[in-house]
Chains A and B, each alone.
Chain A
Amino acid sequence: MRRLFKSGLNVRSLYPAPLWRRVLTVVSRHNGVILLLIVFCGATTIGGFVIRDMREANVEAEEIYTRSVHGLQRIGELQFDAQETRRTTLYALTTSDSNLQVEYADQSRAADQRVKDGIAEYARQGEEPAEKTLANRLTNDWVDYLSVRDEVLASILEGSTKEAVSLDMSRGVPAFEVVRQDLNEVKRLYDRDAARRQANLVSVSRSSTTRLIGILCFTFLLSAAAVRAIERSRMMSTVQLAKLQMEFVASVSHELRTPLSVLRSAADNLADGLVEGKSALRRYGAILQHQSRNMGELVDQILLFASTEDGTNRYKLRPLEVAPIVDSIKGETETLVKEAAFILDPIIDPDLPLVLGDRAGILQCLHNLIGNAVKYGGEDDRRIVLRVLTAPSENGFDLELRISVSDQGIGIDSSELAHIFEPFYRSPRVQAAQIHGTGLGLSLAKRIAESMGGRLSVVSGLSMGSTFTLHLQIAKGQEMPMAATASRPESSLIP
């Protein structure tokens, strides 16, 4: 029994479940996959944000680096060319060769042209008012210095060395000092701009980190919520299982108590000597026999279900003739059918092929189906049709053997069709009608059919009766040509 209940770890419902419960059921069944999916989604999302932020930071850093290198290079070149202008002018003092002096003058003018170009570029690129003002000031100061430089050069070339030195000391040095301060100011502004950009980068990096932490928190909360939902669904499954167990115990107890009460009463009567005469004794004997058989069958069903649930019952499939099996089941259920005032009407097609299956399994399956037909067969048309025929299988190419059991009873509502093969499921309508049962018969029949490589199908409607069909494989080499069966009338009850 415990093993039986263990099988109920899967969520089962006695009634059609609401949507939220079905969702929880699905979540519960695939909780690992869902968790993996959530983690994957979270990781993918975080990864995407991380990659985007890293790319942005890289672009920003690259821009800063490029600007830094380029800017420093330009400032360095500007400072060097300014020095070169002055240096080459003073070189001309070191010689009295007019040709060399002219060459130095040329070099000085080339350097001063580079400085002018550099200042013009700085003025073009300057974005802030301070930079533009500085560019204008630098331009003017450089022009002032150049005017002194030209006079110094002229004096040198004229040969007035003393005058040239005097001029350079009195006006050239101060003018160049002003230029040098301007260039230092350029560097200072550049450093300030670089520091501002660096601060921006740090800010971007900080905001990225904050965003990442936020995303991580969000993902963590999402995962926690998912885990909680799964835990909740598991808890509900456990509650559901406990409820099923209780209901099963109650149902089995009730099913056992009824024949047990009869047996006890009969035994009491016999013990008390209240039964006299042969006919009375025979009647009591029949009662004891019938009730003990009922109890035995119930116990057998429970044990059989437990064995199929555990997977220990493996049928040995072999080619079988169907007609003898039908004869056997007819004999086995004769009492049951007759006592319920039903008629079992077998309709067997001639020349049936051998079927691949297990005799005991097929008998058990049919026994359950006929038992159900008797139980729910209704009051008006008390005829149970047992039809055996061959028909195309699901794939449309092969043939299969179908054994269908049809009744004209209360039928099954379409909303319940999806649940009737679930273990322990019992229709509320049937429970209300106080029709006893364990809810194991159809589930057991279905498992037996599938264990033999076949399947069990149903066609039913409310108050229209039901047809349960056992689909079995035809033994290899026993297939009949499709043409042979094409002319055969197909039962409308078989799906």
Chain B
Amino acid sequence: MRQLTTILIVLAVAAWPRADAVMARGGLAMAPMAEQSPLPEPLAIVVNRSNPIDNLSSAELHTIFLGGRGYWANGRRITLVMREPGEPERKAILRDVCGMNEDQFKTHFLRGLYTGEILVSPKILDTPYGVRKFIFNVPGAIGYLRISDVDATVKVVRLNEVLPEEKGYRLHLQSQAVN
């Protein structure tokens, strides 16, 4: 009897509707936004610590990530660091910064390299650790990392004068348009 009661309690807990599922069904629409859906994790734009740049506008970032700009103001060559295709961070960058999907992005770079408008294709790193290390070793490198993957070996730049932890930061893993 006691075991049966325990099993029933476990089944009831397992069958209880989860908050995200409720949200997906349009339930709890009247609840405040902060309680209903916590903010998606910010995606930080990181550069080498020796890079003097502190802030980038959305337009500058767009140009850089599409290979439209080859050098920093200090003369260092810009090296773009990307995660592998399919990674959420890459998807977010393609969508929110480049405004392209994966195929469009690839086509853009192939065409740019062929025409000579783009000098270097992006470097592909498997892991956030690889991204950090690459940016640490290359003074002109720029990439992106989840804010939880950022450490002291790299430098986070402001986006439109806003840091990832600050209010109004527009680059997150989930869809947030950058305008």
Measured CB to CB, the residues of A under 8 A from B are 98-99, 101-102, 105-106, 150, 153-154, 157-160
Contacts and interface: CB of A to CB of B under 8 A. Distances in A.
Given A158-B77, A158-B79, A102 B125 contact: yes
Contacts of B120: 158-159
B125 A99 contact: yes
A98 B137 contact: no
A106 B137 CA distance: 9
Contacts of B123: 98, 157, 159
A102 B132 CA distance: 10
A360 B81 CA distance: 134
Given A153-B137, A154-B137, A158-B140, A99 B79 contact: no
A106 B132 CA distance: 11
B125 A98 contact: yes
Contacts of B138: 154, 157-158
A102 B124 contact: no
Interface string B123-162: 1111100100110011111000000000000000000000
Contacts of A157: 79, 123, 134, 137-138, 141
A158 B140 CA distance: 8
Interface of B: 77, 79, 81, 120, 123-127, 130, 133-134, 137-141
A106 B81 CA distance: 17
A164 to B, nearest CB: 12
B127 to A, nearest CB: 8
Contacts of B125: 98-99, 102
A289 to B, nearest CB: 140
Contacts of A101: 134
A273 B81 CA distance: 166
Given A98-B124, A102-B137, A157-B123, 7 more contacts: A102-B130, A105-B137, A154-B139, A157-B79, A157-B137, A158-B79, A159-B120
B31 to A, nearest CB: 44
Contacts of A102: 125, 130, 133-134, 137
A154 B78 CA distance: 11
B119 to A, nearest CB: 10
Contacts of B127: 99
Max chain B C-beta neighbours (<10 A), residue from A98, A106, A150, A160: A98
A483 to B, nearest CB: 106
Contacts of B139: 154
Nearest to A102: B133
Contacts of B126: 99
B6 to A, nearest CB: 49
